[in-house]
Protein backbone atom coordinates (compact mmCIF):
# COMPACT_ATOMS: atom_id res chain seq x y z
CA UNK A 1 0.00 0.00 0.00
CA UNK A 2 1.08 3.58 -0.67
CA UNK A 3 -0.56 6.94 0.02
CA UNK A 4 -0.69 10.41 -1.50
CA UNK A 5 -1.61 13.54 0.38
CA UNK A 6 -3.08 16.21 -1.88
CA UNK A 7 -3.46 19.83 -0.88
CA UNK A 8 -6.83 19.68 -2.66
CA UNK A 9 -8.58 17.17 -4.94
CA UNK A 10 -11.74 16.68 -6.95
CA UNK A 11 -13.46 13.82 -5.14
CA UNK A 12 -16.81 12.04 -5.37
CA UNK A 13 -18.10 10.98 -1.94
CA UNK A 14 -19.96 7.77 -1.21
CA UNK A 15 -17.92 5.56 -3.51
CA UNK A 16 -18.39 7.77 -6.52
CA UNK A 17 -22.16 8.23 -6.22
CA UNK A 18 -22.02 11.60 -4.49
CA UNK A 19 -21.79 15.01 -6.14
CA UNK A 20 -18.15 15.77 -7.08
CA UNK A 21 -16.54 18.47 -4.97
CA UNK A 22 -13.10 19.95 -4.47
CA UNK A 23 -12.03 19.05 -0.94
CA UNK A 24 -9.01 20.28 0.99
CA UNK A 25 -6.44 18.04 2.62
CA UNK A 26 -7.22 14.83 0.76
CA UNK A 27 -5.39 11.62 1.55
CA UNK A 28 -5.59 8.84 -1.05
CA UNK A 29 -4.55 5.34 -0.03
CA UNK A 30 -3.82 2.93 -2.87
CA UNK A 31 -3.74 -0.84 -3.25
CA UNK A 32 -2.87 -2.70 -6.45
CA UNK A 33 -3.12 0.49 -8.50
CA UNK A 34 -6.58 1.47 -7.22
CA UNK A 35 -7.80 3.91 -4.59
CA UNK A 36 -8.58 1.95 -1.41
CA UNK A 37 -9.43 4.87 0.90
CA UNK A 38 -10.17 8.59 0.64
CA UNK A 39 -9.93 10.87 3.67
CA UNK A 40 -10.66 14.60 3.43
CA UNK A 41 -9.81 17.47 5.76
CA UNK A 42 -6.68 15.77 7.03
CA UNK A 43 -2.93 16.28 7.05
CA UNK A 44 -0.18 14.09 5.62
CA UNK A 45 1.14 11.09 7.49
CA UNK A 46 4.70 9.83 7.67
CA UNK A 47 5.67 8.25 4.37
CA UNK A 48 2.95 9.96 2.31
CA UNK A 49 3.87 11.51 -1.03
CA UNK A 50 2.85 15.15 -0.63
CA UNK A 51 1.40 16.90 -3.68
CA UNK A 52 0.62 20.62 -3.72
CA UNK A 53 -2.03 21.97 -6.04
CA UNK A 54 -5.40 20.52 -7.05
CA UNK A 55 -5.66 16.85 -8.03
CA UNK A 56 -8.02 15.98 -10.86
CA UNK A 57 -8.59 12.55 -12.43
CA UNK A 58 -6.16 11.86 -15.26
CA UNK A 59 -7.50 12.36 -18.77
CA UNK A 60 -8.21 9.67 -21.36
CA UNK A 61 -7.12 10.18 -24.97
CA UNK A 62 -9.79 8.45 -27.04
CA UNK A 63 -8.15 8.90 -30.46
CA UNK A 64 -4.47 8.93 -31.38
CA UNK A 65 -2.27 8.27 -34.39
CA UNK A 66 1.14 8.34 -32.69
CA UNK A 67 3.17 8.76 -35.88
CA UNK A 68 1.19 11.86 -36.84
CA UNK A 69 3.18 13.68 -34.15
CA UNK A 70 5.86 13.96 -36.84
CA UNK A 71 3.61 16.41 -38.69
CA UNK A 72 3.37 19.08 -36.00
CA UNK A 73 4.76 22.33 -37.38
CA UNK A 74 5.70 20.75 -40.73
CA UNK A 75 2.58 20.97 -42.89
CA UNK A 76 1.94 24.70 -43.19
CA UNK A 77 4.05 25.61 -46.24
CA UNK A 78 2.34 28.17 -48.43
CA UNK A 79 -1.24 28.10 -47.26
CA UNK A 80 -0.83 24.64 -45.78
CA UNK A 81 -3.86 23.03 -47.39
CA UNK A 82 -5.04 19.46 -46.76
CA UNK A 83 -2.99 18.07 -49.63
CA UNK A 84 0.27 19.40 -48.15
CA UNK A 85 -0.67 17.64 -44.91
CA UNK A 86 -1.61 14.39 -46.68
CA UNK A 87 1.63 14.24 -48.67
CA UNK A 88 3.70 14.64 -45.51
CA UNK A 89 1.59 12.06 -43.66
CA UNK A 90 2.20 9.39 -46.31
CA UNK A 91 5.91 10.23 -46.38
CA UNK A 92 6.12 9.84 -42.61
CA UNK A 93 4.24 6.54 -42.69
CA UNK A 94 6.62 5.20 -45.33
CA UNK A 95 9.63 5.85 -43.08
CA UNK A 96 8.37 3.92 -40.06
CA UNK A 97 10.10 0.75 -38.92
CA UNK A 98 9.31 -1.17 -35.73
CA UNK A 99 12.44 0.20 -34.10
CA UNK A 100 11.84 3.81 -35.14
CA UNK A 101 8.16 3.58 -34.24
CA UNK A 102 8.88 2.24 -30.75
CA UNK A 103 11.28 5.12 -30.12
CA UNK A 104 8.88 7.72 -31.50
CA UNK A 105 5.80 6.32 -29.75
CA UNK A 106 7.66 6.15 -26.44
CA UNK A 107 8.34 9.88 -26.74
CA UNK A 108 4.78 10.69 -27.84
CA UNK A 109 3.26 8.62 -25.05
CA UNK A 110 5.62 10.28 -22.56
CA UNK A 111 4.39 13.66 -23.82
CA UNK A 112 0.82 12.50 -23.20
CA UNK A 113 1.56 11.37 -19.65
CA UNK A 114 3.32 14.62 -18.80
CA UNK A 115 0.28 16.49 -20.17
CA UNK A 116 -2.06 14.59 -17.83
CA UNK A 117 -3.25 11.59 -19.87
CA UNK A 118 -3.14 8.15 -18.27
CA UNK A 119 -4.71 6.16 -21.12
CA UNK A 120 -4.87 6.24 -24.89
CA UNK A 121 -6.77 4.52 -27.71
CA UNK A 122 -4.23 4.17 -30.51
CA UNK A 123 -5.94 3.94 -33.92
CA UNK A 124 -3.22 1.89 -35.61
CA UNK A 125 -3.05 0.99 -39.29
CA UNK A 126 0.67 0.83 -40.23
CA UNK A 127 0.81 -2.95 -40.01
CA UNK A 128 3.29 -4.21 -42.59
CA UNK A 129 6.46 -3.35 -44.47
CA UNK A 130 6.36 -0.74 -47.23
CA UNK A 131 4.86 -2.53 -50.21
CA UNK A 132 2.57 -4.59 -47.97
CA UNK A 133 4.68 -7.66 -47.17
CA UNK A 134 4.29 -8.81 -43.55
CA UNK A 135 7.24 -8.55 -41.19
CA UNK A 136 8.93 -11.81 -40.15
CA UNK A 137 7.26 -11.17 -36.79
CA UNK A 138 3.74 -10.46 -38.10
CA UNK A 139 2.90 -8.19 -35.14
CA UNK A 140 6.20 -6.31 -35.12
CA UNK A 141 4.65 -2.84 -35.38
CA UNK A 142 1.90 -3.59 -32.87
CA UNK A 143 4.30 -5.03 -30.30
CA UNK A 144 6.52 -1.97 -30.74
CA UNK A 145 3.60 0.27 -29.78
CA UNK A 146 2.77 -1.90 -26.78
CA UNK A 147 6.37 -1.77 -25.55
CA UNK A 148 6.36 2.00 -26.00
CA UNK A 149 3.23 2.32 -23.88
CA UNK A 150 4.74 0.17 -21.14
CA UNK A 151 7.89 2.33 -21.15
CA UNK A 152 5.84 5.50 -20.80
CA UNK A 153 3.45 3.99 -18.25
CA UNK A 154 0.32 4.86 -20.20
CA UNK A 155 -2.63 2.48 -20.48
CA UNK A 156 -2.96 1.43 -24.13
CA UNK A 157 -5.99 0.24 -26.06
CA UNK A 158 -4.40 -0.81 -29.35
CA UNK A 159 -7.06 -0.45 -32.04
CA UNK A 160 -5.96 -2.74 -34.85
CA UNK A 161 -7.45 -1.21 -37.99
CA UNK A 162 -9.06 -2.76 -41.06
CA UNK A 163 -7.97 -0.80 -44.15
CA UNK A 164 -8.73 -2.51 -47.48
CA UNK A 165 -9.44 0.22 -50.05
CA UNK A 166 -8.13 3.63 -51.03
CA UNK A 167 -11.68 4.87 -51.52
CA UNK A 168 -15.05 3.40 -52.42
CA UNK A 169 -14.37 1.20 -55.44
CA UNK A 170 -10.68 2.19 -55.45
CA UNK A 171 -7.76 -0.12 -54.62
CA UNK A 172 -5.09 0.81 -52.11
CA UNK A 173 -2.44 3.15 -53.50
CA UNK A 174 1.24 2.36 -53.27
CA UNK A 175 1.50 4.65 -50.24
CA UNK A 176 -1.33 2.76 -48.52
CA UNK A 177 -0.15 -0.78 -49.28
CA UNK A 178 1.40 -1.34 -45.86
CA UNK A 179 -1.90 -0.43 -44.20
CA UNK A 180 -3.87 -3.26 -45.78
CA UNK A 181 -4.45 -6.99 -45.41
CA UNK A 182 -5.22 -9.67 -47.98
CA UNK A 183 -8.91 -9.40 -47.09
CA UNK A 184 -11.31 -9.08 -44.21
CA UNK A 185 -10.79 -12.69 -43.09
CA UNK A 186 -7.01 -12.22 -43.08
CA UNK A 187 -7.51 -9.17 -40.86
CA UNK A 188 -9.85 -11.04 -38.51
CA UNK A 189 -7.33 -13.86 -38.22
CA UNK A 190 -4.47 -11.43 -37.61
CA UNK A 191 -6.57 -9.59 -35.01
CA UNK A 192 -7.22 -12.83 -33.15
CA UNK A 193 -3.53 -13.71 -33.23
CA UNK A 194 -2.61 -10.21 -32.02
CA UNK A 195 -5.03 -10.44 -29.10
CA UNK A 196 -3.37 -13.67 -28.00
CA UNK A 197 0.14 -12.25 -28.36
CA UNK A 198 -0.70 -9.13 -26.35
CA UNK A 199 -2.52 -11.08 -23.64
CA UNK A 200 0.45 -13.41 -23.21
CA UNK A 201 2.99 -10.58 -22.99
CA UNK A 202 1.48 -7.55 -21.26
CA UNK A 203 -0.66 -6.87 -18.15
CA UNK A 204 -4.34 -6.60 -19.18
CA UNK A 205 -4.95 -3.45 -17.14
CA UNK A 206 -2.17 -1.70 -19.08
CA UNK A 207 -2.32 -3.06 -22.64
CA UNK A 208 -5.28 -4.57 -24.47
CA UNK A 209 -6.50 -4.85 -28.06
CA UNK A 210 -9.55 -3.30 -29.70
CA UNK A 211 -10.62 -3.03 -33.32
CA UNK A 212 -11.15 -0.22 -35.80
CA UNK A 213 -12.53 0.24 -39.29
CA UNK A 214 -10.60 3.01 -40.93
CA UNK A 215 -13.73 4.45 -42.60
CA UNK A 216 -16.53 3.43 -44.92
CA UNK A 217 -14.21 4.61 -47.71
CA UNK A 218 -11.59 2.02 -46.73
CA UNK A 219 -13.88 -0.93 -45.93
CA UNK A 220 -16.26 -2.13 -48.69
CA UNK A 221 -19.84 -2.94 -47.76
CA UNK A 222 -19.42 -6.71 -48.11
CA UNK A 223 -16.56 -6.55 -45.63
CA UNK A 224 -18.64 -4.50 -43.20
CA UNK A 225 -21.09 -7.40 -43.22
CA UNK A 226 -18.31 -9.85 -42.34
CA UNK A 227 -17.12 -7.64 -39.49
CA UNK A 228 -20.64 -7.39 -38.12
CA UNK A 229 -20.95 -11.20 -38.16
CA UNK A 230 -17.52 -12.20 -36.91
CA UNK A 231 -15.93 -9.47 -34.77
CA UNK A 232 -15.75 -10.67 -31.14
CA UNK A 233 -18.38 -8.92 -29.04
CA UNK A 234 -16.05 -8.21 -26.11
CA UNK A 235 -13.80 -5.61 -27.74
CA UNK A 236 -14.41 -1.93 -28.60
CA UNK A 237 -14.87 -0.87 -32.22
CA UNK A 238 -13.87 2.54 -33.60
CA UNK A 239 -14.30 4.20 -37.00
CA UNK A 240 -13.57 7.56 -38.64
CA UNK A 241 -17.05 8.78 -39.56
CA UNK A 242 -18.16 11.66 -41.79
CA UNK A 243 -14.96 13.62 -41.31
CA UNK A 244 -15.27 15.27 -44.73
CA UNK A 245 -18.32 16.10 -46.90
CA UNK A 246 -16.68 14.21 -49.77
CA UNK A 247 -16.90 11.00 -47.72
CA UNK A 248 -20.64 11.49 -47.31
CA UNK A 249 -21.10 12.24 -51.01
CA UNK A 250 -19.21 9.13 -52.09
CA UNK A 251 -21.13 6.95 -49.64
CA UNK A 252 -24.48 8.31 -50.80
CA UNK A 253 -23.57 7.72 -54.42
CA UNK A 254 -22.34 4.17 -53.85
CA UNK A 255 -24.73 2.91 -51.18
CA UNK A 256 -27.68 5.29 -51.18
CA UNK A 257 -27.14 6.29 -47.56
CA UNK A 258 -24.77 8.19 -45.27
CA UNK A 259 -21.85 6.52 -43.47
CA UNK A 260 -23.89 6.37 -40.25
CA UNK A 261 -26.80 4.89 -42.20
CA UNK A 262 -24.51 2.28 -43.71
CA UNK A 263 -23.31 1.20 -40.28
CA UNK A 264 -26.91 1.02 -39.08
CA UNK A 265 -27.84 -1.08 -42.12
CA UNK A 266 -25.39 -3.76 -40.99
CA UNK A 267 -25.95 -3.62 -37.23
CA UNK A 268 -22.70 -1.87 -36.40
CA UNK A 269 -24.21 1.05 -34.47
CA UNK A 270 -24.18 0.16 -30.78
CA UNK A 271 -22.86 1.23 -27.39
CA UNK A 272 -19.51 -0.35 -28.15
CA UNK A 273 -18.99 1.79 -31.26
CA UNK A 274 -16.91 4.96 -31.13
CA UNK A 275 -17.44 7.26 -34.11
CA UNK A 276 -14.45 9.56 -34.51
CA UNK A 277 -14.98 13.15 -35.70
CA UNK A 278 -18.62 12.80 -36.87
CA UNK A 279 -18.29 16.35 -38.15
CA UNK A 280 -20.72 16.37 -41.09
CA UNK A 281 -23.88 14.62 -39.94
CA UNK A 282 -27.50 14.86 -40.99
CA UNK A 283 -30.22 15.15 -38.35
CA UNK A 284 -31.02 11.50 -39.09
CA UNK A 285 -27.39 10.53 -38.44
CA UNK A 286 -27.44 12.31 -35.09
CA UNK A 287 -30.62 10.48 -34.12
CA UNK A 288 -29.11 7.11 -35.12
CA UNK A 289 -25.91 7.62 -33.13
CA UNK A 290 -27.85 8.90 -30.14
CA UNK A 291 -30.39 6.07 -30.16
CA UNK A 292 -27.55 3.54 -30.32
CA UNK A 293 -25.84 5.13 -27.31
CA UNK A 294 -22.61 5.27 -29.32
CA UNK A 295 -19.58 7.28 -28.24
CA UNK A 296 -18.56 10.18 -30.46
CA UNK A 297 -14.90 11.12 -30.20
CA UNK A 298 -14.30 14.77 -30.94
CA UNK A 299 -10.74 15.97 -31.66
CA UNK A 300 -11.20 19.76 -31.67
CA UNK A 301 -7.57 20.82 -32.13
CA UNK A 302 -7.09 18.47 -35.09
CA UNK A 303 -10.45 19.32 -36.64
CA UNK A 304 -9.44 22.99 -36.48
CA UNK A 305 -5.93 22.33 -37.82
CA UNK A 306 -7.26 20.37 -40.81
CA UNK A 307 -10.19 22.76 -41.37
CA UNK A 308 -12.59 19.83 -41.06
CA UNK A 309 -15.35 21.89 -39.48
CA UNK A 310 -17.24 22.00 -36.19
CA UNK A 311 -19.17 18.83 -35.33
CA UNK A 312 -22.62 18.82 -33.69
CA UNK A 313 -21.40 17.82 -30.23
CA UNK A 314 -24.25 19.37 -28.27
CA UNK A 315 -26.90 17.84 -30.51
CA UNK A 316 -25.22 14.43 -30.30
CA UNK A 317 -25.06 14.58 -26.52
CA UNK A 318 -28.68 15.64 -26.28
CA UNK A 319 -29.65 12.74 -28.56
CA UNK A 320 -28.02 10.20 -26.25
CA UNK A 321 -24.48 9.80 -27.55
CA UNK A 322 -21.52 9.92 -25.17
CA UNK A 323 -18.92 12.58 -25.96
CA UNK A 324 -15.22 11.75 -25.65
CA UNK A 325 -12.08 13.68 -26.56
CA UNK A 326 -8.93 12.74 -28.48
CA UNK A 327 -5.81 14.39 -29.85
CA UNK A 328 -5.73 12.55 -33.22
CA UNK A 329 -2.77 14.00 -35.16
CA UNK A 330 -1.33 15.74 -32.09
CA UNK A 331 -1.29 19.31 -33.33
CA UNK A 332 -1.65 19.76 -29.56
CA UNK A 333 -1.32 17.17 -26.78
CA UNK A 334 -3.22 18.84 -23.98
CA UNK A 335 -6.47 17.58 -22.40
CA UNK A 336 -7.36 21.00 -21.01
CA UNK A 337 -7.00 22.64 -24.41
CA UNK A 338 -9.20 19.97 -26.01
CA UNK A 339 -11.89 20.51 -23.36
CA UNK A 340 -11.87 24.24 -23.94
CA UNK A 341 -11.76 23.89 -27.73
CA UNK A 342 -14.85 21.67 -27.68
CA UNK A 343 -16.85 24.38 -25.95
CA UNK A 344 -15.31 27.20 -27.99
CA UNK A 345 -16.24 25.44 -31.23
CA UNK A 346 -19.80 25.13 -29.97
CA UNK A 347 -19.88 28.83 -29.10
CA UNK A 348 -18.52 29.86 -32.49
CA UNK A 349 -20.99 27.64 -34.31
CA UNK A 350 -24.06 28.59 -32.29
CA UNK A 351 -23.43 32.13 -31.10
CA UNK A 352 -24.22 30.97 -27.55
CA UNK A 353 -22.12 30.52 -24.42
CA UNK A 354 -22.37 27.64 -22.00
CA UNK A 355 -23.08 24.90 -24.49
CA UNK A 356 -21.17 22.45 -22.25
CA UNK A 357 -20.72 22.98 -18.53
CA UNK A 358 -17.26 22.58 -16.97
CA UNK A 359 -18.50 19.31 -15.41
CA UNK A 360 -19.54 17.99 -18.81
CA UNK A 361 -16.14 18.88 -20.26
CA UNK A 362 -14.33 17.06 -17.45
CA UNK A 363 -16.59 14.06 -18.06
CA UNK A 364 -15.77 14.05 -21.79
CA UNK A 365 -12.06 14.07 -20.98
CA UNK A 366 -12.30 11.20 -18.48
CA UNK A 367 -15.25 8.84 -18.15
CA UNK A 368 -16.67 9.88 -21.52
CA UNK A 369 -13.74 8.05 -23.07
CA UNK A 370 -14.10 5.00 -20.82
CA UNK A 371 -16.33 3.13 -23.26
CA UNK A 372 -13.76 3.74 -26.00
CA UNK A 373 -11.15 1.85 -24.05
CA UNK A 374 -10.43 -1.75 -23.22
CA UNK A 375 -8.30 -0.69 -20.23
CA UNK A 376 -9.52 1.04 -17.05
CA UNK A 377 -10.05 4.80 -17.27
CA UNK A 378 -10.22 7.28 -14.41
CA UNK A 379 -13.70 8.62 -13.61
CA UNK A 380 -14.59 12.35 -13.54
CA UNK A 381 -13.82 12.49 -9.78
CA UNK A 382 -11.62 10.44 -7.46
CA UNK A 383 -13.29 7.84 -5.26
CA UNK A 384 -12.72 4.50 -3.56
CA UNK A 385 -12.46 1.67 -6.05
CA UNK A 386 -11.36 3.85 -8.97
CA UNK A 387 -7.99 3.41 -10.64
CA UNK A 388 -5.42 5.64 -8.99
CA UNK A 389 -4.80 7.80 -12.06
CA UNK A 390 -4.70 11.54 -11.46
CA UNK A 391 -2.92 14.77 -12.32
CA UNK A 392 -2.13 17.76 -10.12
CA UNK A 393 -2.71 21.27 -11.48
CA UNK A 394 -1.05 24.44 -10.22
CA UNK A 395 -3.90 26.81 -9.27
CA UNK A 396 -1.61 29.85 -9.08
CA UNK A 397 0.02 30.01 -12.51
CA UNK A 398 -0.40 33.03 -14.77
CA UNK A 399 -3.17 31.10 -16.52
CA UNK A 400 -5.01 29.57 -13.57
CA UNK A 401 -4.65 32.21 -10.83
CA UNK A 402 -8.11 33.14 -9.57
CA UNK A 403 -9.88 30.24 -11.31
CA UNK A 404 -12.60 28.49 -9.36
CA UNK A 405 -11.46 24.84 -9.18
CA UNK A 406 -14.50 23.42 -10.95
CA UNK A 407 -14.01 25.88 -13.82
CA UNK A 408 -10.40 24.83 -14.49
CA UNK A 409 -11.24 23.60 -18.04
CA UNK A 410 -11.57 27.26 -19.04
CA UNK A 411 -8.10 28.37 -17.96
CA UNK A 412 -5.63 25.51 -17.45
CA UNK A 413 -3.24 24.03 -19.99
CA UNK A 414 -0.88 21.07 -19.88
CA UNK A 415 1.83 23.50 -18.78
CA UNK A 416 -0.01 23.80 -15.45
CA UNK A 417 0.14 20.04 -14.78
CA UNK A 418 2.82 19.54 -12.13
CA UNK A 419 2.50 15.85 -11.23
CA UNK A 420 0.87 12.78 -12.76
CA UNK A 421 0.12 9.47 -11.06
CA UNK A 422 -0.82 6.34 -13.03
CA UNK A 423 -1.83 3.08 -11.32
CA UNK A 424 -0.57 4.49 -8.03
CA UNK A 425 2.90 5.35 -9.38
CA UNK A 426 4.17 8.93 -9.49
CA UNK A 427 5.31 9.16 -13.11
CA UNK A 428 5.66 12.91 -13.61
CA UNK A 429 7.12 15.67 -11.46
CA UNK A 430 7.41 19.22 -12.79
CA UNK A 431 7.30 18.18 -16.43
CA UNK A 432 9.86 15.39 -16.18
CA UNK A 433 8.91 11.75 -16.73
CA UNK A 434 10.35 9.65 -13.91
CA UNK A 435 11.33 6.80 -16.24
CA UNK A 436 12.13 8.51 -19.52
CA UNK A 437 13.15 12.06 -18.63
CA UNK A 438 12.25 15.25 -20.48
CA UNK A 439 9.76 14.52 -23.30
CA UNK A 440 11.05 17.40 -25.40
CA UNK A 441 14.48 15.80 -25.59
CA UNK A 442 12.98 12.40 -26.37
CA UNK A 443 10.88 13.87 -29.15
CA UNK A 444 13.77 15.86 -30.61
CA UNK A 445 15.90 12.74 -30.83
CA UNK A 446 13.11 10.56 -32.24
CA UNK A 447 11.92 13.12 -34.80
CA UNK A 448 15.46 13.61 -36.12
CA UNK A 449 15.11 10.19 -37.80
CA UNK A 450 12.27 11.38 -40.06
CA UNK A 451 12.37 13.69 -43.05
The number of C-alpha atoms within 13 Å of 330 and in the hemisphere containing its C-beta is 25
Of the residues 63, 127, 238, 277, only one is catalytic, namely 277
Check if 285 is active-site: no
**149 close to 111: Cβ distance less than 8 angstroms:** no
The separation between CA 422 and the C-alpha centre of its own chain, rounded to angstroms, equals 16
**38 close to 382: Cβ distance less than 8 angstroms:** yes
**274 close to 236: Cβ distance less than 8 angstroms:** yes
Alpha helices, H only, 118-216 = 140-152, 184-201
Q: How far apart are CA 301 and CA 327, in angstroms?
A: 7
* Angular region, 383: left φ>0, alpha ψ -120 to 50, beta rest: beta
Query: Which neighbouring-strand residues pair with 49?
Result: 4
Which residue in 234, 144, 235 sits closest to 197, CA to CA?
A: 144
Give me the sign of the Cα torsion angle 76, 78, 80, 83: negative
Q: How far apart are CA 274 and CA 299, in angstroms?
A: 13
Report residue 34: phi and psi, to 5°: -120, 160
Q: Are strands 117-124 and 425-429 parallel, antiparallel or unpaired?
A: unpaired
Query: Which neighbouring-strand residues pair with 75?
Result: none
Give me the sign of the Cα torsion angle 135, 110, 62, 415: negative
Q: How far apart are CA 161 and CA 239, in angstroms?
A: 9
Q: How far apart are CA 221 and CA 210, in angstroms?
A: 21
Q: Are strands 117-124 and 59-64 parallel, antiparallel or unpaired?
A: parallel
Check if 128 is active-site: no
Q: How far apart are CA 361 and CA 349, in angstroms?
A: 17
Of the residues 328, 334, 389, 416, only one is catalytic, namely 328
For 327, counting Cβ atoms within 10 Å of its Cβ (0-12 exposed, 13-18 middle, 19+ buried), the class is: buried
Which of the residues are catalytic?
277, 328
Amino acid sequence: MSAFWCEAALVAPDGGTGVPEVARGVRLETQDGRISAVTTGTGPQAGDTELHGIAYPAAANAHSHAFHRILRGRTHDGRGDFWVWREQMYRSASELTPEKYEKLASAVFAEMVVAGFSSVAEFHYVHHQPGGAPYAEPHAMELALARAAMSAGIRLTLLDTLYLAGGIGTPLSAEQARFGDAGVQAWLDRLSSLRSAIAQTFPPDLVRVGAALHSVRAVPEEDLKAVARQLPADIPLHIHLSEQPAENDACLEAYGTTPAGLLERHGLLSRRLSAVHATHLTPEDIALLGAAGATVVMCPSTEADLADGIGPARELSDAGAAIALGTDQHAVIDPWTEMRALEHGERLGSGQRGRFSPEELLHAATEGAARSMATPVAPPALHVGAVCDFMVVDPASVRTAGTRPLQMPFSATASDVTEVVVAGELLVSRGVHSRLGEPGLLLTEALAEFS
